[in-house]
Chains A and B, each alone.
Chain A
């Protein structure tokens, strides 16, 4: 029986609207800014009425940043590609290494397993700058400096512990008896892993991959230190709009919209996996 009064329903509607407005307003304002020139953005007082322009998006896509005093070549689209490539490749490598490892830590008991798992997690504890300087030296000696391969490798510091520890929890949630039953039916260990464990842990793996992608996407310092300008991700490239001769607010806003688009689209697509996966982890026990 529904006991909610119409008045309460209205109040709830207002409360939900206020919450949505509170969280969405900055995004809404950034979208508006992305269609304005610097002059209209900086006018006092600010106004939501203006003549929209596509010049910010045009500048980003054509690679020409028009500053207050000059025209400057920028690499925003190249930065965007770098972010996409580095994040996708890192997560792919992380999944290939992390999912079997997570399964092993969840199902197999071997000497030092907890120590190894904790060591992998500890990669997340160390401040990146602490490991970056020694890494720079090693990378130069190994010829990995300023290569995509080197960056994807070092990105494993971000994605691998995340994938390993999240997915391990999901594997542990799956009753081992299901797998034993399947193996008693004559299937090999690899088939059991592929046909039983992986599908059951699918939502968890999707959630871990999405979170790892977001963490990799937001990383800033690894490429900055280890690679040259042509391999920088969008997090570093976006700073190009803050110049000595002025801050290009319109282009920053357009850059934000373009740079959150891939993760936003991915999150929308994977939303049901994400919610399901995270919930599974939450009710463990």
Chain B
């Protein structure tokens, strides 16, 4: 089956024919673009099989995965047959909607279930899973040449992203330190930057803002010309997820942190510094003047949907949210553009906080070495490249994929400014929170305080002082302050 097609693809891999000739040839053989893409990658998989590594060491073993419903998962599933062919292993998976996904993960891990060998997770979650002993430190496998194939190239994973998945487990210790445990391996990640509606901006002579003051002015100007819409979309629900995208990215750009770590290792709230108060005041004013009328209910979904439907002129949120909204049957598909955003006029570049979808290995897995075979494949350069070129595995976590011309051209053709935004922001992209066990509680309280400030229930100064006091009290109760 597919012998002729494979020969054609091998010719492409060997550089004998161009990609256009390849696709034309495969089309003539009656293959759809998606099938052709998987077959093209099968060629890369065959090349991987020749790298001297014993890919068949766990032939016949079944690995079970717990996956979140996401375009990254679509890419994984689309390429899975190639992994099975490469290793002779079987892979079974359960996909759950994101709304309930982490409930399922937490229930599975906390009960010590061995049902799943590996699962998708965010780096923040590993700050709970790691110290609880629910996930493995993957350094043990990454550093073992007998278990990791020679083409894995761990250093190829973007440094800020790679280190953001590693933490020593000591509250307040820097992520990615020398003694850090690698709780997860990045698959792809999202930076928080500006996505703006170029049609609206061009029609009304608006310029892309380059700092927080310009952001406030542009958002207000956009709102004035939007009719029933509003100027800027940012998240506002009472959740940790309100703090981590645009807000924290701008906050970090002023050198501000959520907590400070004393010489004794104790943590203290840092939200009520003078610089922080000034930034908060501007952020609150921006939402009051130009944000969504129902801002306090806005999550990822509302922020993205509104910019895609043309209800908001721009958003300061995940770049891949803008990527998704610039396609499909969204009213503004093709009109969205991207820009890195440094809130601080003194800063040389953006410093986006990031969210990373990654893979972790369950401590309760019965097939850890076999599971690592899957993990090194799904986070390896070959699958990352396939996902980025042919599917929506954006932003890929590997620098070699970002250097790939085919991928860059694909992005530049349909997503103006995306590549430039990424390249300018990536060096400063990392997790900006201080890792500690109360992360979710404290950031949720931060969002609650923000809601009160926006609703004018409490002045910004006073609200931040009260927040800092509460944070310090909770840290003290946990023995961390």
Task: Report A's interface with B, CB cutoff 8 A.
Answer: 37-39, 42-45, 67-70, 72, 132-133, 136-137, 140, 145-146, 221, 224-225, 228-230, 232, 236, 239-240, 242-247
Interchain CA distance A108-B305 in the complex, whole Å: 61
- Known A224-B104, A239-B97, A242-B98; judge A69-B327 contact (CB<8 A): yes
Contacts of A228 in B (CB 8 A): 94, 115
- Going nearest first, the 9 A-B pairs with the smallest beta carbon separation are A68-B328, A239-B97, A245-B324, A136-B111, A229-B94, A42-B309, A225-B107, A239-B99, A228-B94
**Chain B residues, Cβ within 8 Å of A37:** 329
B228: contacting residue among A44, A69, A72, CB under 8 A: A44
Does B103 lie at the interface of the complex (its beta carbon under 8 Å from any beta carbon of A)? yes
When distances are taken between beta carbons in the complex, the residues of chain B under 8 Å from A43 are: 309, 331
> Quick one: given A68-B330, A146-B115, are A245 and B110 in contact (CB under 8 Å)?
no
How many Å from the CB of B87 to the closest CB on chain A?
Answer: 23
Contacts of B391 in A (CB 8 A): 70
A136 vs B228: C-alpha distance in the bound complex, in angstroms? Answer: 50
Asked if residues B392 and A245 are in contact (CB atoms below 8 Å), the reply is yes
A69 to B324, CA, bound (A): 6
Q: How far is the CA of A247 from the CA of B329 in the complex (A)?
A: 12
Tell me whether B478 is interfacial, beta carbon within 8 Å: no
Asked if B311 is an interface residue, CB under 8 A from chain A, the answer is yes
- Given contacts A39-B330, A224-B104, A245-B328, whether A229 and B96 have CB atoms under 8 Å apart is yes
Interface mask (B322-337 → A, CB under 8 Å = 1, otherwise 0): 0011011111010000
29 A-B pairs, CB-CB below 8 angstroms? A38-B330, A39-B329, A42-B311, A42-B331, A44-B227, A45-B228, A68-B324, A68-B329, A68-B330, A69-B328, A136-B108, A136-B111, A136-B113, A137-B111, A140-B115, A145-B113, A221-B103, A224-B96, A224-B100, A229-B95, A232-B96, A239-B98, A240-B97, A243-B70, A243-B97, A244-B300, A246-B308, A246-B324, A246-B328
Which residue numbers of B lie inside 8 Å of A, CB to CB?
69-71, 74, 94-100, 103-104, 107-108, 110-115, 227-229, 300-301, 304-305, 308-311, 320-321, 324-325, 327-331, 333, 391-392
Decide if A133 touches B110 in the complex (CB within 8 Å): yes
Q: Is the CB of B111 within 8 A of A247?
A: no
6 additional contacts (CB under 8 A) given A68-B325, A244-B300, A247-B305: A42-B311, A44-B310, A136-B107, A229-B95, A240-B69, A242-B97
Contact, CB under 8 Å: A140 / B113: yes
Query: B94: which A residues are within 8 A, CB to CB?
Result: 228-230
Chain B: CB-nearest residue to A68: B328
Instruction: Report the bound CA distance from A221 to B99 in whole Å.
Output: 12
Q: A133-B107, A236-B100 are in contact. Are A44 and B330 (CB under 8 A)?
A: no
Interface of A is mostly: mixed
**Are A69 and B331 also in contact (CB < 8 A) when A44-B228, A246-B308 are?**
no
Closest to B394 in A: A69
CB-based nearest B residue for A72: B74
- How near does chain A come to B92, taking the closest CB pair, in angstroms? 9
Contacts of A137 in B (CB 8 A): 111-112
How far is A87 from B95 in the complex, measured between Cα atoms in Å?
A: 23
Are B328 and A67 interface neighbours, CB within 8 A? Answer: yes
- Chain A residues with CB under 8 A of B331: 39, 42-43
Interface centre among B94, B97, B304 (most CB of A within 10 A): B97
A38–B69 CA distance with the chains assembled, in angstroms = 19
Give Cα A245 to B320, complex, Å. Answer: 9
In the complex, A225 Cα to B97 Cα: how many Å? 13
Q: Please name the residue on chain A nearest to B101 by beta carbon.
A: A239
User: Which residues of A have CB within 8 Å of B110?
Assistant: 133
Nearest Cβ in chain B — how far from A233, in angstroms?
12
**Cβ of B74: which chain A residues have Cβ within 8 Å of it?**
70, 72
Q: Is the CB of A133 within 8 A of B308?
A: no
Report chain A residues within 8 Å CB of B98: 239, 242-244
